[in-house]
Every structure is written in C-alpha cells, then in structure tokens.
Homo-oligomer: A and B are copies of this chain.
Amino acid sequence: MTPSRPELAIGVDLGGTKIHAAVVNRDGQVVSSHRIGTDVGGGPAKVVEDIAGAIQDGLGVDLSEIGAVGVGVAGQVDPRSGLVRSSPNLKWTDFPFGERLQEALGVPVVIDNDVQAATWGEWKHGAGRGFDDLLVLFVGTGVGGGAVTGGQLLIGRSGMAGEMGHVTIVVGGRQCTCPNKGCLEAYVGGWAIAKRAVETVLANGDAGRGLLDLARGAEITARLVSEAAANGDALAADIMDRTGRYLGAGLVGLVHVFEPARVVFGGGVIEGSPGLVEIAESVVRASAISAYTDGLEFVRSELGADAGVVGSASMALERVDALP
C-alpha cells in the first residue's frame, strides 16, 4: 500500500486539550490540516479512535498516499517502541500508543515527544534550517525547548531532554509547577506571567486598575497582560519587560552550555509579545562571554503553531526512509 518513496506524511500534535493533525509534504509544507478537542476522560482507546477519525475524515487525503504518521506527544515516550511511558496531560501510563494507532490506520506510525518534534520541525523546515548547533525555546503556558548539537537532535537518556523551562534562575525563588523553586518557567511561562501580574496588581492599587478594567472581572491572563502592555499600560509593560529579562537570564546559561549558532523562539507567549525576543537578546549580549554571542543569531519561529505537525511528519518520513 505505502508508496516506495512517499511524498506525503501526516503529523499529529497531541496535547491534553487539542489534537492538531496535518498532511505535510517533503518540503515541510502543510497541505491540509484539522483540529479537534482531546477527550482525555474517554481514555486512551477513545483518543486513538478520535485521531484515526480526524485523519480519515478531516484531512481529505487517501491514506495510500501517506508514507507515515508521526505523532508528537506531551510526555515521556519511547520512540523505538511507540510506547507512551507517562503523559500527565493525557493521564496515560505505559500505553502502547504507536502500536494501537498503527493498527487503526494501517500506516506506519512513529511516536515522539511533542517539543522535540517541534524542534525538529524548526530545524528541518523552519527558522533553524541548515544549522548544526541550534537552540529552540518555546514559551507558552509552559516553557520547553530543544537543541541540535553537532547536527544531532538532543534526545536524552529516555527521550526527555530539553526541559529548558526547568533551569533554576533564582535559587529559592518562585515555586514552579515542578518540585523546584526559581525555575525559568516560574517567571516566564504564561501561567507565571499571569500569577506575577495578579500579585503586582494586588500590591499596586491604582496602577493596577488598567489591568483590572481590561479583565472585566475575569481572570488576568498572560495574553491580557501582553495586550495591555502593547496598549501602553505602564504596569503591564513593566511586567513584560521583567519577563524578557528573566528569559534573557535563563538564556545566558543555555548559550554558554550549548554554544549554538542560532536561537529560535516560539510559543504563544512569544507570538503575543514578540518584543520579548529583543529584550532577552539584549540581556544575553550584555551578560554572556562575548565569544559566545559574536555571530549568534536570535530569531522567531517560522512555523509557529505548525512546528509540531511539520516536525512529527518530517521525523516520521525520515524514520520510514531509513527502514531497509
């Protein structure tokens, strides 16, 4: 059934709230895509069924033209066996996801970690194209990342490398969602920006009124802070400025550790506040050993929200191409 050198693959980005599936060609272009919600409560079998349905009915492609299906999963996976060892977002433990989805689709299925897949996407088809030493940082609700070193994707002992959000930047600092205190994510993740903003508003009375008015009784979110900052609210601008500085402080370390040629920034917080890249860059240039920043480039993601599906599809094709 599978063509000998297929031109198309399907990439799936599987998170705890939504499933994003896309047909992707060898140039990394999205041919068609489809999004549905994730029915975590229905259990793993239901998610397999929903993904198979989304692929068969939502993408308008004949599966006989598809070389492979790659799925990026938020969690700890074993790419060799397709086992999802643990995914807190999906509430899965040791689920043979690759095997089950392959049974449902009749097409080779490859499972990877979602952030590593997105890193691969930016590396092969996005802002990291052609770089052998690359750092990719995704700042969304959480903060994750990936690295390419010496032309090889950083994987780690069991596929979990790249938790760039969980580097300590303030010893004994703000409690993170992980057991650590003072993680980068606890300052610049979307949830952390919102939390810092609420605290700042509570502590600043009048100056915080702008944000409160904008929220209109609803929760203060990172997006709201970022919009308020763009509209000239001084308190919000200060919060985002500090966010950029924290981001820079974390990056100084990563730049010294990896010595990349390029840093790529993606994720919802960056999309909402692109100015963060500039602030972080200026901090890194001022604080790092100069040999590490000479020639180092800071750029934004080219694939945006498609990085995951493009990366998963591309990794899956590469894996299938390598089969004897």
Judging by beta carbons under 8 Å apart, are A150 and B155 in contact? yes
| Residue interface mask A247-280, B partner, CB < 8 A = 1 | 0011011101111110000000000000000000
Q: Is A286 an interface residue (CB 8 A)?
A: yes
- With A161-B258, A260-B157 as given contacts, are A168 and B253 in contact (CB-CB < 8 Å)? yes
Q: How far is the CB of A95 from chain B (nearest CB, A)?
A: 16
A166 to chain B, nearest CB (A): 4
- Please name all residues of chain B whose beta carbon is closer than 8 Å to the beta carbon of A147 when the two chains form the complex: 257
What's the number of copies of this chain in the assembled complex? 2
B160 touches A149 (CB 8 A): no
Q: Which residues of B contact A159 (CB under 8 A)?
A: 259
- Contact check, A155 vs B160: say whether CB atoms are below 8 A apart: no
- Taking the closest CB of chain B, its distance from the CB of A28, in whole angstroms, is 23
Contact A259 B161 (CB under 8 A): yes
Partner of A171, one of B76, B158, B170, B258: B170
- Measured between alpha carbons, how far is A106 from B159 in the docked complex, in Å? 45
Q: Which residues of B contact A86 (CB under 8 A)?
A: 291
Min CB distance A169 to B, Å, is 5
Q: Which of B149, B170, B246, B250 contacts A154 (CB 8 A)?
A: B149
**Distance between Cα atoms of A170 and B289 in the complex (Å):** 17
**In chain A, residues 131-163, which have Cβ atoms closer than 8 Å to a Cβ of chain B?**
132-133, 147, 149-150, 152, 154-163
The stretch among A36-44, A173-181, A210-218, A310-318 that forms the contact with chain B is A173-181
Which residues of chain B are within 8 angstroms of A90 by Cβ–Cβ distance? none
> Contacting A257 at CB < 8 Å: which of B158, B254, B291?
B254
Query: Which residues does chain B contribute within 8 Å of A170, judged by CB atoms?
Result: 169-171
| Top 5 closest pairs, chain A to chain B, by CB | A156-B259, A167-B253, A163-B256, A166-B256, A180-B287
Other A-B pairs, 9, CB within 8 Å; known A157-B261, A168-B287: A147-B257, A152-B152, A168-B169, A168-B253, A169-B171, A170-B170, A179-B286, A181-B287, A257-B257
